[in-house]
Amino acid sequence: MNQATVVQLLAVPVVAVAVAAVARRRGWSAPLLLVVAGLMFSPFMSAYRLDHELVLLVFLPPLLYSAAIDSSYLRLKAVRRPVILLSVGLVLFSTLVIGWVAHLLLPDLHPAAAFALGAIVAPPDAVAAVAVARRLGLPRKVVTILVGESLFNDATALTAYRVAVAAILGETVTWLDAVGRFAYAAAGGVVIGLALAWLLIRVIRMLKDALIENTVLLLTPFAVYLAAEAVHASGVVSVVIVGIAVGHRLPRGGFGTRLMSGVIWRIVDLFLESIVFLLIGLQMWPIVSALDWSDPWKPITMALAVFAAAVVARIVWVVPATYLPRILSPGVRRNEPDPPPWQNVVIVGWAGMRGVVSLAAAFALPDFPGRDMLLFLTFTVVIGTLLVQGLSFPWLIRRLRVSTEQETFADDLAEAAAQQAAARAALARLEEMVAEGVDEIHQEVVEQLRLRTERRTLTAWERLGGGTGPEGEQTPSAVYRRLRREMLTAEREVFVRLRDERRIDDEVLRRVMQELDFEEATLVRG
């Protein structure tokens, strides 16, 4: 591999991370800025054609897995009905609507190719949904529904896509065949996911080594995806199932595993998401230049029509899918006595950003007349939803006055009560050990432990008031955190000076700095 090739390979991640750094520093939306940067660089970096295998094997599994670990099994279980309606019902409905529109616009196109386009652009992207939801402060239930939908809808879309591609290649595919393939892919993905999750959790229990455990967890999404796809089951479903199971199990693991896991997956998310969104924009020039632009209004009109179909189909589905089950089913009304606020329904209906999976599926299409046009239509839907819906999303949330203040207060109240219950249990255990005379405990040590436990409990209650007292006066715990952080800074300066004076070794410096860093991490909220 020559030097020029190495430079080209490094260009995309370097530019992606640089743009993401600017977005984070300025408080802008990194996905949108990366897409725009990709569009701007596309004419100069036209050699970067998206490899569908790279996306489906390298990018998709870890990003889905990370989102699944960060989700909540209990919250997903509570919203399983809307998630199923969106991830299965909406995807199939959108596939039919978009396919029908594409067939009307391109009557000479193979009918199966039109519905392949529908399957390609039907699912909102997991990466886009999670990236946008994390930064917008949406209500928890809305975020859970959007994340749950984006975790599972790729399985539905890719199965429908494979059926359509088989028909394009001349295979005879009946409705019964299509339903059978979908059922096998979904059920197989669930079974393999549950089996591998069971095995993985037991392996992690035996390891008891945070570094090795996180190495295994880092390799898990790739191994799970390949295992499921090897038997033609849904790798997407398997990865999501394992991720949810691992995320549910992590609180019972060791603290070292959790600390390292959080850092590792934040880095992986930032790196892969940055590359993915930049790659989306970089596809503009190769796709646009492959089309015949002798009549420019024809592809533009088709692109607008397909984009409108994708947006409208979601809105048309979301409204009745939200309210009809309540009207038709007494069980739904009994389990969910309060209807969802209409503002939440509007947000879910507008949250249809597509992403790199759609482009990867389009690039995987076999050669046939009209393939270049389908690539262009896919690209315009992806870019259109990311820019139009992505840019308008914050404005829509502000306009609808959607707020998480009530949820935040409820969380703080629940945390304070939980901290108090945990403190009682800890102090009771401390008193038991004192009474037993374990290791001849000194009274000063006992008193320090009591004060530390009580301070943590008081911090949780103070958070209900925002961390400040009357007229902006800081609470004792806030003062404690500020003063202790200043003390830690002073300690670090001394250790660094002693290292520079060759009075302690770098190994000693790293050890004590790690101890100070862990302590400061406990002082920083959020």
pLDDT digits 0-9 by tens, 61-76: 998 899 888 888 888 8
Burial class (CB in 10 A: 0-12, 13-18, 19+), 181: middle
Q: What is the DSSP letter of 58?
A: I
Q: What is the mean pLDDT of residues 350-368?
A: 87
For residue 286, name the pLDDT band (cuts at 50, 70, 90).
confident
Mean pLDDT of the chain: 82
Mean pLDDT is highest, among 6-10, 459-463, 496-500, for: 496-500
For residue 83, name the pLDDT band (cuts at 50, 70, 90).
very high
Which has more pLDDT, 47 or 472? 47
Tell me the residue type at 360.
Answer: A
CB count within 10 Å of CB 238 equals 30
For residue 343, name the pLDDT band (cuts at 50, 70, 90).
confident
Residue 445: is its pLDDT beyond 80? no
Q: What is the mean pLDDT of residues 46-73?
A: 83
For residue 477, name the pLDDT band (cuts at 50, 70, 90).
low
| Structure-derived torsion over alpha carbons of residues 190, 192, 194, 197, reported in degrees to the nearest 10 | -140
CA 355, CA 379: separation in Å to the nearest integer? 9
The per-residue pLDDT for 73 is 84
Cα 286–Cα 291–Cα 297 angle in degrees, nearest 5: 125
CB count within 10 Å of CB 144 equals 22
Q: What is the DSSP letter of 473?
A: P
Cα 415–Cα 420–Cα 424 angle in degrees, nearest 5: 145
CA 263, CA 318: separation in Å to the nearest integer? 36
Sequence spans of domains, the chain? 10-403, 408-523
- What is residue 137's three-state secondary structure? coil
CB count within 10 Å of CB 396 equals 16
CA 454, CA 443: separation in Å to the nearest integer? 17
Residue 110: is its pLDDT beyond 80? yes
Residue 504: is its pLDDT beyond 70? yes
The per-residue pLDDT for 315 is 94
Q: Are 357 and 154 in contact (CB under 8 A)?
A: yes
Q: Match domain 10-403 to its CATH number in 3.40.50.720, 3.40.50.10860, 3.40.470.10, 1.20.1530.20.
A: 1.20.1530.20
CA 467, CA 311: separation in Å to the nearest integer? 43
Query: Which pLDDT tens digit goes with each residue over 323-336?
Result: 888 888 888 888 77
Mean pLDDT is highest, among 88-92, 127-131, 458-462, 465-469, for: 88-92
For residue 469, name the pLDDT band (cuts at 50, 70, 90).
very low
Query: Which pLDDT tens digit goes with each residue over 216-240?
Result: 999 999 999 999 999 989 999 999 9
Residue 423: is its pLDDT beyond 80? no
Q: Are 38 and 214 in contact (CB under 8 A)?
A: no
